[in-house]
Structure 1
Amino acid sequence: MPEIQPYKPTERRGETFSYLPSMTPDKIRKQIQYLVNQGWNPAIEHTEPEKAFSHYWYLWKLPFFGETSVERIMAELESCHRANPGHLVRLIGYDNYTQSQGMAFIVYRGGR
């Protein structure tokens, strides 16, 4: 199991996996596969790190309704990151049944 990061009051954390080390591409693929297996619709958002907790995030294209290709979703995450290199980029899984987010996590943390 990965080492959990200690809490630092001066450092803001966000989303599900922010207390763990950055995920490898393989682990990100597994999370995307889980999102797809649940039947959730993926969406990608991005924002500047300083605005992450006080502003709405920018939507990258429209949500990918019905998308089941993990590779296409990975490619869109990478495209968003390349177009906005200093931004946080997160993946969201929208659940049609509960009309809420089933999952959300930051894939790219700013300049990383």
Structure 2
Amino acid sequence: MKTLPKERRYETLSYLPPLTDAQIERQIDYILQMGYIPAIEFNETSDPEVYYWTMWKLPLFNASTPQEVLSEVQACRSEYSNCFIRVVGFDNVKQCQILSFIVHKPGASTYRY
């Protein structure tokens, strides 16, 4: 058995290869099905010491389809292509962030929309 090489990991699902459009859409669909409120955040770095990311617009309270969220991800990506971009899901009952995953890394051309 061999130890994996030390590598920087970025939040939930980071141990997997970059997500395809269909996989991102399914994750967002899960957020919506669970009744969580999706939001998009961006930041220049993904350091674990950075607790606060800048929110892209307001949370998407009225989003009912993954495409609505993906279109906002694309808009954020167009304006802040030099930043990490993640989708988060908020639980309005527990009043906390339940999940998050990165959908764009600066300089990575593997994330398509």
Q: TM-score, normalised by structure 1?
A: 0.85
SS in 2 for 1:77: helix
Q: Does 1:73 align with 2:69?
A: yes
SS in 2 for 1:76: helix
SS in 2 for 1:90: strand
Deviation beyond 4 Å, 4+ runs, structure 1? none
CA deviation map 1:18-61 (0-9, x unaligned): 11110000000000000000011001000113x64333211100
Q: How many percent identity over aligned positions? A: 38
Distance in 1 (CA, whole Å) between partners of 2:80 and 2:49 is 19
Q: TM-score, normalised by structure 2?
A: 0.84
Question: Aligned pair count?
Answer: 104
SS in 2 for 1:81: helix
Instruction: Tell me what 2:23 maps to.
Output: 27
For structure 1, the residue ranges without an aligned partner over 5 or more in a row are 1-5
For structure 2, the residue ranges without an aligned partner over 5 or more in a row are 109-113
Match of 1:62 among 45, 58, 62: 58
- The Cα of 1:82 is off from its aligned counterpart by 0.9
- The Cα of 1:12 is off from its aligned counterpart by 2.6
